[in-house]
Structure 1
Amino acid sequence: MQNKLFILWIGFLSFTFCNAQDLLTKTEAVALTLEQNFGIQIANNNLEIAENNAGILNSGYLPSLNAQAGSNFSTQDRLAEVAGQDPLDQNNLDSENYNASLNLNYTLFDGLGRLYNYKRLKEEYNLSELQARETIENTLVQLFSVYYEVARRVENVEVLKQTLSLSKDRLKRVEYLFDYGQVNKLQVLNAKVDVSNDSINLVNENQSLDNAKRDLKVIINSEYSNNFSVDTTVNFTPMLKIQQFVEEHELNNASLLQIEKSLEISAYDQKISKTGYLPTLDLIGSYGWNRNISPETPFFPGSTQTSTTISAGLSLNWNLFDAGQTAVRIQNAKINYENQNLQKQQIQVQVDRDIQNALNNYKTRLYIYELQEQNVKTNQDNFKRTENQFELGQITSVEFRQAQINLQNAQTSYSLAKYDAKLAEIQLLQLTGQLLNVKF
């Protein structure tokens, strides 16, 4: 029994709930999430919209070419009376007109507004990239929270299976001893109650595991059946790298990078506002074709006239005074820039605080994890001695049960501490902007 318990615990650490082909690794979960998660797909679509907006087709640098065409048709009856002549009655006189034109307009100069707006759109695209990255990071944090919850539930199921197995062995033992009159009926009943409670705990934990798996399938947006397992191994990033990430967080934190881009956009808004004081110069060109078919008159025969026209010119527009609207836009743009700068300082303070809190939390979780690891070993040794004494009849079944419960609690607490520490590390990596740069 001593070796049996040790082998069960080793198996618990490396346990795979299903066979190999049903194992959902962390790498596969991340790949499925990046490809199929609804939130990430929406973020990628928004990024594509920002890319379209930042393209040359939306820059204002290309000319506009407009084509127009039309036709008119009319018919009339006419009575012409000329002095000294008989009246001339004309019916069904048809008139036709056809026209077509191409009109070109190109802005040569607009006070540099087009240039600044184009640069602004580029920065908006960069901002959208950072927003998409933040969405991906938040989704991955959510993914690993649920993924490790599944892993913890898997390990808890194994612990409860182990507990139930030991309780059944104990029941068989006390029933055997009862048959030979060495224990009373109360110990048999206690053993049966413990088997029943352990069975209920196992059923409840299996239900919680199924629920956690469904939560995981929602995040990865996959049609997996619930008959799959996850990787329960956890590797921690070396503390030296963690410290380096913390020192470089200003260069990588998504929130700080986003506010920097917002500041650049606000700076371009100021420049765009100032262009209202400058003139615009447009190049205008057109080509026109016209055909007019006229009916005959009493004095002239019917005729067909066809003409083509080519024209080009420059148009200068300078709004010398716009009732102060440009001045108001400039003032508001300056105030908005100041607000963005204040927001940057606020976010900087908050991020520094969050990183220090996350770092301290991570260190604390690691320390608790190490303590729980030692606690498991202590409870294992204690249970081995208790089991030996129980087999020799030196302790009661109540004492044996207490040692069994203590081992179970130590094992589940160890599992919880392990995943709590890993999630604390993931949150710290997100704050330092390194979540997408490490392997899990």
Structure 2
Amino acid sequence: MKSLFYPLPLILLFGANFLNAQEELLTKEEAIDLVLENNLEIRVARNTQKIDENNANILNSGYLPTVSANAGGSIDKQDTEGQLASGDTRTADGAETRRYNASVDVNYVLFDGLNRRYTYKSLQERSQQSELEVRQTIENTIVQLFTVYYEVARLTENTKNLEEALEISKDRLKRSRYQFQYGQNTGLDVLNAEVDINTDSINLLNSRQELRNTMRDLNLVLNRELSKQFLADTTVSFVPGLQMEEMHNDAKLNNIRLQIVEKGMNITEYNVKAAKSVFLPTIGLTGTYGWNESSNNSPLAFLIQNTSTGVTGAVNLTWNLFDGGRGVTGIKNVKINYENQELLKKQIELQVERDIRNAWDSYTNALYVLEVQEKNLQTNQNNFNRTNERYKLGQVTSIEFRQAQLNLLNAELAQSQAKYSAKLAELLMLQISGQLLNVDF
């Protein structure tokens, strides 16, 4: 009988070449190291943090004085005529006067209404907030990383299960052909077996394609060559002893969104205090060390050359008694902004409360589903083993055998899906509680 299954050798060859390319085992620890080092979003966040650290430096605080140097020179030629006390008149054509000067000026603000103090504190709070934002980016990226990593692991397990299913179908086809040759079944069993091989081969081909695509997604997160092949670790371990009350308390204290909004409130509070500096005076200190020299070749000049050096110091006070109302308006606006920060904090607190409860329910439900699917897998495995033995003895039909095979395959796929779904639910819960970076993956 002519086989209906033509592309099987090509698919198996393609699959074999693909599996041989997978030589490197990418462990979870290595994946985390790579993403922390290479991920572009994390690198951008860290550069932003460096900018905020520079802004919070003492060099940008306004507490240091300013020092400037000045120098200049001029040449002046004049025709002059003068009358002496004796009545004589003297003239000087093209009399030249040269003047040179140099100075070092120092300016320092002694008091600026506390604007400098609170602005500096605001910049320091912003630097700390930026550090928290880097942590938030890292947490989000790690969740993204393991979402894709566990999808690679799941598809790896699925591909293996589909390969085993294909091997079982091939063995069934071989058995059906022998039985047909010896008159123990009809040609319909052979055709059914070939159709099932076609179906299993297509499913395997699609799974391998999906696996390759997901590997590229993971390489993109890791910011490395997209075509790089690797093996994913399919073992999953759960954090033991998690309790709802502890997760709830941790979320209130350590949730990154709450910590960021807290820093935002501190920044706005300092901005309110800095805005009030418009009602206070500014006191400054200036000092100058200068050198001046002038020379004059005019016969009418009293001094032919003059040189002077000296130090000058001054204290100045500026008090803007009324600025047209702009200062009052600014204070009102920053106070409204602070109220908005308080409202935002309350909103985020409610969202975190909801998120941690939802995450806990999803986590416990996912663990229960995993437990049920593991039991279901064991039941289907036992059922397939018994059906396989009876099929070899001719006590069940090929249709019954195929159904037992499909039940086992579906149970394997469902158990794999439940395992990784439960782990991702755990990671999301740990992220909301602020404990994601404190556990082993």
Give TM-score, length-normalised by structure 1: 0.90
Letter in 2 for 1:210: R
Over residues 200-223 of structure 1, what are the superposed CA-to-partner deviations in whole Å (9 max), with x where a residue is unaligned? 211111111111111111111123
Query: 1:52: how far off?
Result: 0.8
Query: 1:79: how far off?
Result: 8.3
Count of residues in correspondence between the two structures: 421
Change (3 A) 1:408 1:19: same
Unaligned stretches of 5+ residues in structure 1 = 1-16
Query: 1:356: how far off?
Result: 0.6
Q: Secondary structure at the match of 1:248?
A: helix
Aligned twin of 1:178: 180
Q: What CA distance in whole angstroms lies between the structure 2 residues aligned with 1:409 and 1:20?
A: 26
Residues 266 and 333, structure 1, Cα contact 8 Å, conserved in 2? yes
Change (3 A) 1:331 1:301: closer
Q: What CA distance in whole angstroms lies between the structure 2 residues aligned with 1:217 and 1:98?
A: 68
Residues 96 and 298, structure 2, Cα contact 8 Å, conserved in 1? no
Q: What CA distance in whole angstroms lies between the structure 2 residues aligned with 1:213 and 1:381?
A: 34
1:32-51 pair list within 5 angstroms: 32-51=34-53
Q: What CA distance in whole angstroms lies between the structure 2 residues aligned with 1:298 and 1:312?
A: 36
Change (3 A) 1:86 1:95: closer
Residues 18 and 227, structure 1, Cα contact 8 Å, conserved in 2? no
1:199-214 pair list within 5 angstroms: 199-214=201-216
Q: Secondary structure at the match of 2:242?
A: helix
Query: 1:86: how far off?
Result: 11
Over residues 290-341 of structure 1, what are the superposed CA-to-partner deviations in whole Å (9 max), with x where a residue is unaligned? 22233x2353599333222310010111111222222222222222211111
Query: 1:116: how far off?
Result: 1.2
Letter in 1 for 2:387: T
Q: What CA distance in whole angstroms lies between the structure 2 residues aligned with 1:240 and 1:57?
A: 47
Q: What CA distance in whole angstroms lies between the structure 2 residues aligned with 1:366 and 1:342?
A: 36
Unaligned stretches of 5+ residues in structure 2 = 1-18
Q: Secondary structure at the match of 1:97?
A: strand
Aligned twin of 2:57: 55
Q: Structure 1: which 4+ aligned runs deviate by more than 6 Å?
A: 17-21, 79-89
Aligned twin of 1:303: 304
Aligned twin of 2:247: 245
Letter in 2 for 1:288: G
Query: 1:369: how far off?
Result: 0.8
Letter in 1 for 2:417: L
Q: What CA distance in whole angstroms lies between the structure 2 residues aligned with 1:196 and 1:98?
A: 98
Q: Secondary structure at the match of 1:191?
A: helix
Q: What CA distance in whole angstroms lies between the structure 1 residues aligned with 2:227 and 2:318?
A: 68
Q: Does 1:284 align with 2:286?
A: yes
Residues 18 and 228, structure 1, Cα contact 8 Å, conserved in 2? no
Q: What CA distance in whole angstroms lies between the structure 2 residues aligned with 1:263 and 1:86?
A: 80
Over residues 315-372 of structure 1, what are the superposed CA-to-partner deviations in whole Å (9 max), with x where a residue is unaligned? 1111112222222222222222111111111111111011111110111111111111
Moved more, 353-362 or 244-253: 244-253
Q: What CA distance in whole angstroms lies between the structure 2 residues aligned with 1:89 and 1:286?
A: 36
Residues 61 and 116, structure 2, Cα contact 8 Å, conserved in 1? yes
Letter in 2 for 1:162: E
Letter in 2 for 1:385: R
Residues 80 and 298, structure 1, Cα contact 8 Å, conserved in 2? no
Q: What CA distance in whole angstroms lies between the structure 2 residues aligned with 1:439 and 1:301?
A: 90
Query: 1:71: how far off?
Result: 2.6
Letter in 2 for 1:411: E
Residues 103 and 284, structure 1, Cα contact 8 Å, conserved in 2? yes
Q: What CA distance in whole angstroms lies between the structure 2 residues aligned with 1:115 and 1:272?
A: 8
Residues 370 and 415, structure 2, Cα contact 8 Å, conserved in 1? yes
Letter in 1 for 2:254: N
Letter in 1 for 2:198: S
Over the matched positions of the two proteins, sequence identity in percent amounts to 50
Aligned twin of 2:356: 355
Change (3 A) 1:303 1:18: farther
Q: What CA distance in whole angstroms lies between the structure 2 residues aligned with 1:224 and 1:32?
A: 14
Aligned twin of 2:428: 427
Aligned twin of 1:381: 382
Letter in 1 for 2:344: Q
1:266-285 pair list within 5 angstroms: 266-285=268-287
Aligned twin of 1:28: 30
Q: What CA distance in whole angstroms lies between the structure 2 residues aligned with 1:371 and 1:243?
A: 26
Give TM-score, length-normalised by structure 2: 0.90
1:106-255 pair list within 5 angstroms: 106-223=108-225, 225-241=227-243, 243-255=245-257
Aligned twin of 2:7: none
Q: What CA distance in whole angstroms lies between the structure 1 residues aligned with 2:372 and 2:356?
A: 24
Moved more, 79-88 or 95-104: 79-88
Change (3 A) 1:240 1:426: closer
Letter in 2 for 1:325: R
Change (3 A) 1:77 1:280: closer
Residues 366 and 418, structure 2, Cα contact 8 Å, conserved in 1? yes
Q: What CA distance in whole angstroms lies between the structure 1 residues aligned with 2:331 and 2:376?
A: 66
Q: What CA distance in whole angstroms lies between the structure 2 residues aligned with 1:18 and 1:247?
A: 49
Please provide the CA RMSD for this pair. Answer: 2.4
Query: 1:380: how far off?
Result: 0.3
Residues 132 and 256, structure 2, Cα contact 8 Å, conserved in 1? yes
Q: What CA distance in whole angstroms lies between the structure 2 residues aligned with 1:107 and 1:88?
A: 51
Moved more, 370-379 or 321-330: 321-330
Query: 1:30: how far off?
Result: 0.7
Over residues 92-131 of structure 1, what are the superposed CA-to-partner deviations in whole Å (9 max), with x where a residue is unaligned? x654332221111111111111111111111111111111
Change (3 A) 1:143 1:248: same
Query: 1:65: how far off?
Result: 0.6
Letter in 2 for 1:263: M
Query: 1:284: how far off?
Result: 0.7
Change (3 A) 1:31 1:241: farther
Query: 1:248: how far off?
Result: 2.2
Q: What CA distance in whole angstroms lies between the structure 2 residues aligned with 1:95 and 1:308?
A: 19
Q: What CA distance in whole angstroms lies between the structure 1 residues aligned with 2:91 and 2:55?
A: 66
Q: Secondary structure at the match of 2:283?
A: strand
Q: What CA distance in whole angstroms lies between the structure 2 residues aligned with 1:409 and 1:291?
A: 99
Residues 103 and 285, structure 1, Cα contact 8 Å, conserved in 2? yes
Residues 99 and 290, structure 1, Cα contact 8 Å, conserved in 2? yes
2:67 to 65, 68, 74: 65
Letter in 2 for 1:141: V
Residues 92 and 299, structure 2, Cα contact 8 Å, conserved in 1? no
